[in-house]
Structure 1
Amino acid sequence: MTGAGPGPGEAATADPTGPAPITLLIADDDEVTRSGLRMLLGARPGITVIGEAADGVEAVERARLLRPDVVLMDVRMPRRNGIEATRQLLAESAEPPKVVVITTFENDGYVTAALSAGASGFVLKRRPVQEIAEAVRVVAAGEAILFPAALRRMVAARPLGSAEALPRAALTGREEEVLRSMATGLSNPEIAASLRVTLETVKTHVGNVLTKLGAQNRTHAVVIAYESGLVVPGFAG
C-alpha cells in the first residue's frame, strides 16, 4: 500500500502553522488490524500515529516511551488484556494519555470494565473510520465518548438507583440541561450551539456537573444520569 503514510517507527511531519496533531498509539494483537487502523487514522487530518503495540504489556511500555495523547486499546490481547493495561497505564502516570477502548465484541461487560479502568471512551471496530477518528479527537479534547446503544443496554441491564443517586436538587436547571445533552453524545461545542451559550460557559457547567455528581468523567456522569432516571434510554433531546 504505497503512499499509506509513515512506517511503524516514523511520525508524520506536523504543519508548523497549524495546531499540533493528536499523537496516537494503536494497541491490537492483530497485525492486519493495526496496519489498517494506522493507515486509515493516520490519513485523517490532525491525527499522527506514532506507534503500535501487539499486546497489553507492550502497550504500557510503548506509551511510557512515546507519551501519546491517546491510546487506542484493544480489549482481547495476550500477556495483558486491554482493560488491565488501561488500568496500569492510568494509575502510574501523573499525566497519562487518554484511552479509547476498541473491540470487535459488543459486550456490555467490556463497557463497564473499561469505564472502571478509567477509559474515556469505548468504540467498536466495525464502526466507520470517521467515527473512530472522531472518538480520538473527542477524548483528546478532554471529553468522553461512548456509543449510546452500548450505554443504553448497559444501564437497562442494571436496576435504576434511588433518586438519591443523583442529587438533582444540587444541580441547577441549566446544569441538568447540559447533563441531558451530554447523555445524547453532544460535544461541548455542540452543547454551546444548542443552548446558545459560550463554550467557556458549557465547560463551567460540565465541571460543576462532574463535581456535584462525584463523577470521574463525562461518561461516568451520563451513567449516573441514566441510573437515577434523570435521563431514560432512548432520550433524544
Structure 2
Amino acid sequence: MAKVVLITGASRGIGRACARLAGACGWSVGVNYAGNEAAAAEVVRDVEAAGGRAVAIRGNVAEEADVTAMFETVETALGPLDALVNNAGVLGPKSMLADMPAARMKHIFDVNVFGAYLCAREAARRLSTSRGGRGGAIVNISSAAARLGAPDEYVDYAGSKGAIDTLTIGLAKELGPEGVRVNAVRPGLIDTDIHASGGQPDRADRLGMTTPLKRAGSAAEVAEAVIWLLGEESSYVTGALLDVAGGR
C-alpha cells in the first residue's frame, strides 16, 4: 500500500513541487491549500498523472478546527498518515521592522509559527507509536532567512522560520522514541511566487547571482531534499537542518 503524506500549502511553489515529486515516487498525497481551489485541483491532477493518488483539502493552518479536519480528511480519503510536509507559509512586503504594522507581524506568526506547530502537533498525535501510529516522518520547511535574519526586508518572516528550526530540533528529540523522524529543509533564494507576494518578483533571480552557485534555485530542487528526508534512504537522519541555498 502506498504511503500517505499531507503537504500544507501545496497549491503553489515548493509545496506544489513536493506534491508532484511525491506522486511520482508513489506516495498518496493530501494537497492542502488556503484559497486557490483551481491551483490545488491542478496539483491533484499532476499527482494522479504521475501515478499517485491525491485529494485536495482547503484549510487555514492557523485555525485549529481546520487543521484537525484536514488530517481527518486525508486519512478518510487516502488511509493512515505516514508523513507531514509542514510547508504553508506567508510573507509580507519588504519593510524595516520599525515600519511594520502589528497586524502584519501577527499574521506572519499566526500562519508560519502557530500554524506549523498545530500541524506538527496533529501529526505527532497520529504518527507516534505509543498513540497507535505507525511512526513516520515530518519535514518542516524553514528558510535560510532563519540564520541570515533578512535585515531591511523580512525580519518577521526570518524570526518565524527561526521558530521552525527550534521546533525541528526539539520535536526530533521528543518523537525519536516514537518512531518519527523530524527534519527541516532551509531553502535559500528559490524561484517561486512568494517573492511577488513580498513585492519583489525579481528577487530570487536578482540575488541568486550573489550566491556561490551564481543562480537562484528551483522548487523542484528543494522538493528532492524534502522527499529524500521523507523516505527510508534518510532513515538515520533526524533533527537535521538541511540548507538548500546554493552556498549562501
TM-score by length of 1: 0.40
State which structure, 1 or 2, has the greater radius of gyration over its C-alpha atoms: 1
Q: What is the TM-score with the length of structure 2 in the denominator?
A: 0.39
**Quick one: higher RCO (CA 8 Å, sep 6+), 1 or 2?**
2
